[in-house]
Structure 1
Amino acid sequence: MPSEQTLLDTFLGAFEGTISVLLTCFAGYVSARCEMLNRSTVKQVSKLCTTLFLPCLLIVQMGPELTVSSLSRYWIIPLWGLFSTAIALLLGWAGQRLLSLNYWTIIACGRPNANALPLLLLQSLESTGVLSQLAPDGDDISETLSRAQSLLLLNAIVQQVITFQLAPSVLRLDAEGGPSKLDDGGPGTLRPGPGRILPVVQDEERVGLLDGEEGREETDGVDGRAALGPIEDMPAYRWPKSLRFAERPVETAWAYMSPPLIGAIIALIFGLAPPLHKTFLDEDGALYPPITQAVKHLGQLFVVLQTFTVGAELALVPTAAAGIVQCAWVLSVRFLAMPALSVLFVWLTAGRGWYIDDPLVWFLLVLIPAGPSAMLMVSVAELADVDQGPIAGYLTIAYLLSPLMAIVCSIGLAVVGAKS
């Protein structure tokens, strides 16, 4: 059982790590407030992180661990990520039903920040020496960090799939009670018809006043009205008759794809195919220095840059009062209920031979369901045409409370130490 001094050192180290994460986020917030970044730039950087840097990180971090033997050892990570998310979503649904909360609270309860925040927290725990307590004897601390990041990314893929398949339809329920922006006949609406495949809505609060100074600055000389003109129908691609049978399955599968999922598939292929694994992922492989190293450098940009853009998003998205009851319910789920559930799960199951006997895995099982909700909720709300104000207001409070993760980390390490 860890001593009181060890627990205190662990808490202080974890607290320093969470403060480091918060300051990185705060730097993005200040940069946006000082007008060094605008909304368009932040959205582009965030999209770049998701579509390029995160897939690169998945390939170089997950690929070496995605062997048959590794998957047979670490299956508990994605399974617990899926199971704990389902429980959190049920808690969010129960709160929505019992307390008449907005539907976005369901997703906020169920979707933790599974990418940038825990990855940066692990880096901070390494620098403060906390992570060394989970390193096997003779294992280098950098190797432990790399393995921990790979395992966290396994869970991140599960979270990405859940978010993109579930969140938009749930968030749209918040807009069903009010008048639809697509049928009110207002001047900002372009109705669908011949020559259009989607309705185009001009929302001055979101795209900026095209006739104002800010609007002219962001368009860089491009006529914004042209962007709101009719969208001409594009001719559909005709599959050859011999391949027509595969058209519907391929289009259905492609509809579920996202850049992180594609990166995970590439990592899985490289990891499970020995020739590709040796060529691309082994450090002495023929293509490791010219190709994999470049992919690795791009992937390393994700963690800090994504956390930085989280702060910038919070500064630029118009916030609104999220409601005391709504915030209290979601925060209690994210910072109390889910950490307590994960600690109880590890306490009852670890070391019984049901899954791998590895203190690092046990600690990650505690860490995975905890912490603030994903900042991705703001982007999904924008795509679903739902008011982002209350969500941004809640996320601001949630990230200010992120140092509470130090308590979760110290309790998790205490439980792991007791079970080891």
Structure 2
Amino acid sequence: MDTLSLPLRSWLNAPAHQAWLAAEGLRLLDFAKASRLSQGFGNPDARGRLPEGARAETMNTARMTHSFAMAHIQGLPGYAGLVDHGIAALMGPLRDAERGGWFAVAGQADGNSAKAAYLHAFVALAASSAVVAQRPGAEALLEEAIRIIDGHFWSEEEGAMLESFNRDWSELEAYRGANSNMHATEAFLALADVTRDPRWLNRALRIVERVIHQHAAANDYMVIEHFDCDWQPLRDYNRAFPADGFRPFGTTPGHGFEWARLLLHLEASRDLAGMPTPGWLALDAQRLFASNCRHGWDVDGALGIVYTLDWDNRPVVHQRLHWTHAEASAAASALLKRTGQEQYEVWYRRFWDFCEAHFIDRQQGSWHHELGRDNRPAAEIWGGKPDLYHAWQAVLIPRLALAPSMASALAQASVPGLV
């Protein structure tokens, strides 16, 4: 969308704000370099050091590879080797060379041999970004990721991703998850750009139709996270473990914001490709944002977005997570670009002011990943600072068009002042 339609004096048009975002991105990237291990990338502690016994994990290796690829695409020196390291790890120790697919941890050091759709979506995203970055081995990684998604995870019948399998793919988990399908949607947008195959945009639309336009719309646009194999909501799922880092009980406002942004990316990508685009994509994005702001922000006596809510929209887990606020800010910027409405400028500034005041760590680097109810650093759900992906994307998205996907948009250098 033409930025002339933005509100007068929008931060998205302000050179100083653009420079601030760029500087914050460089700071985040520099901190994340320390995550390199021999078999991939690990989880730095709060000071940016790898603890003794740190292990390479597929999730962070894929996320780091994707993130470093976007740094390299921008022309930032020193990141090409990190992208290559990630590709080698994903094609090497993190991959199941015998049965195909990826383990959660190199060499199954965690005792887990399952194959999860969530992880494979990130591998596909990393591969697509590495292809755009023109790094050696990226095409082979992309082909393997697509082969596994097509051969095992994508269900044409359900129009969504299956959740997880045992190592030899003979047993399917009787569970369907919104989170894994959300990240599959993100990956499919990138795959559509690098392969120029419209099936990925059609698959993304089918996921969104089911998870958001059907289920979330019937739940006041609060995203239902957990389903059985017939896509019936599991409202009591993990009630006994409400603060689970990946499958928490109830609804997760941060995911509502993330979905809102992805709906706008999907709309813009289909428009760019000349494909039919449902009008409800933008409407659902606005309703997701409004509902999750209403129920998630400043609801327990302190500023910030709570991690989870119950089915009556009461806070369950009060911690504030950095990724939630990064996604809220990114969603506000996307809606601001899409609609030009002043309300999204107000929210965009509000979220960044909160992040600057509470999450951004100017002393030890990166962002605090978790705050307690008092908005002081905590580590009950997420210890250390292993995640570059969410905050890094949050400083990039406001400077990019809604389509194509991020790595492709960076490669096109369509927006001035990116570095």
TM-score (norm 2): 0.27
Q: Bigger relative contact order, structure 1 or 2, given CA contacts below 8 A and separation 6+? A: 1
TM-score (norm 1): 0.27
Between Structure 1 and Structure 2, the one with more strand by share is 2
